[in-house]
Structure 1
Amino acid sequence: MKVKEVSQLTGISVRTLHHYDDIGLLTPDELTEAGYRIYSDDSLATLQQILFFRELGFSLKRIKELLDSPAFNRQEAFEMQREMLVDKRKQLDSMIATIDKTILQGKGELVMTNEEKFKGFDFSNNPYEQEARERWGDKAVDASNQKAAKFGPELGEEMNRIYFKLAEIRHLDPASDEAQAGIGEWFVLLNKMGDYSLEAFAGLGQMYVADERFTRNIDKFGEGLARWMCGAMGVFAEQGD
C-alpha cells in the first residue's frame, strides 16, 4: 500500500507517517523510483502495535526502543497491551460510577463519603513519567516519585482538593490576594513531591496551556482553569523574586 492509502485506512495523517519514517519508527518496505513509500501487511501490523502503545501513553522514543529490542516479541506485546487496556477500562468504569454517584448527590438523591468521591482516581502510575524522564532525567523523576510515595492516596485527594478550590475562584483576577493564596498552596504541594524553583513553577504553568493533555485534564475541574492557573502561577513567580 502507498502512504496515502495507509493514511486513508488508518486515519493517521501522511505527515505523521513521514515522521515515523524519518525517526526510524516505521520504515516502509520499499521506496519506488518515483519516491512512493510502499507498506506491506507486516508494516501495518507494526503500525497497529505503535498506535496501541500511543493510546497507552508511551512516547515515540520508548516505543522505538521496545520495537528495536532483540527481545521484543510482537505477540507478547499485544497480550501485554490488552491487559493494560483492560486495566484502563476498569479504571474508567470506576470513575464513571463515581461521577454518576456525584450527579445523584448533586440532585439530593444520595450522600457520598469522602472516600467514595475519589474512587477510580489512580495516581500510582503517571502517564507522563516517561516523557518527564526524557526531559529531566531519571534522577529528578525518581526523587519526585520517592517523595510522592510517602503520601500515598492522600496525595491524590489533596491535589483534587486544591484543583476544586482553584476552580471555584477562577473568576477572580489571578493577581488577587485570594488567587495568590490558593496558587501558593499548589506551589507548596508540588514542592512536597519535587523541587520546583519559582522559574520552574511558572514554566509548568505555561505547559498547562501549551500541552493540550494538561489543559484537557485540568479543565475537567472547570473550563478555563488551566489558563487561569498559568496566569496565577506566573504572577506568583514574579512576586516571589
Structure 2
Amino acid sequence: MSFKDNLKSKINLDRVFHRLVSSIKEPPGKRWVDMTLTRELLSNTDFAYRKVRNLDLYILPREGEVMEVLVLDNELPIYHTTVDDVALRKSPYWQQMFSIRNIRKIMNDHDVVVSKGKDTLERLHNYALARLDLTYNKDDLALLLEEARHGLEQESIERIQESFDLFFELLDFQPVSLGPLAPDLLIFAGPSPGSGAVPAFEHFILFNEKSLSLGLKRGAFSPEDDSDLAWIMQYAVGKKTADLQGIAVFEFLADLALEKESH
C-alpha cells in the first residue's frame, strides 16, 4: 500500500481501538465487548480464525505446538498454549471433567493467560499497527500536499478534512475548543515542547467551515492566555491576519512533518 493508504489505515485502527475501549461495559460480574469492532480489529492482524467446539478462536503461531490463542468472548482472553488446552479450559467435554488435573486447569488459567479485556485490545491494536509501514519521505509528503491543494481549489470540505486528518496524524495536532468565543472557527494546534500543567500549544490553525478560509499563526499559544484569546476574536471578525493562509498552511505542515521524520 502507499504511504497515504497506510496512514489512513492507522487513523482508522486508532479510531476502532478507542471506540472499542470506550464501549466496554463492565457491570459487576459481567463484561460486554463490541464483537463487530473486535472482529474488524482482528481482521487487520495475522490471527487466523478457527472454530473449535463452540469456541470462536483466533490463532497466531508461536513456537512448536504453542500458539497465541484469542477466545472471542466478552472476556477476550489470550492464551499462550495449545489449541487443545484452550478448548479444555473454555469448553471441556463432560468426560474431561472427571480428571482432577483438568479441573485445576479449568479453575485456574494464570499459567497460560497473557491478557484479557482492554489489555487484549491494546495488544491487538499494536499487532495491527506493526503491519503498517509508516515511514515517509519528501515525495510522500508532496503527494499529500498536492491533494490538499486540490481540496482547497475545489472547495471540497471532505478533501480538506481528509488532508487535515493525515497531516494532524503525523504532527499530533489536536482540536482546541474555545466554546462561544469563536463559534464559526475550527481551531487545531500542535503540542508545545515542555508545556506544564497549563495547556500550551504551538502553531495554531484556524479553519472556517462556512467560508473555507484557512489560516495559521506561528508560535506558542495557550487557551489560558488572554492575549491569545483576544487575537483569535479579532481574527474571527477580520481585524487580524494569520501568518500563513490557504495552501501555505499545508506547505508549512509538510515542512514540519519532514523535519520530524528526519529526527
Considering Cα pairs closer than 8 Å and 6+ residues apart, tell me whether 1 or 2 has the greater RCO: 2
| Pair member with larger Rg | 2
> Which is strand-richer, 1 or 2?
2
TM-score (norm 1): 0.23
> Which is helix-richer, 1 or 2?
1
TM-score (norm 2): 0.21
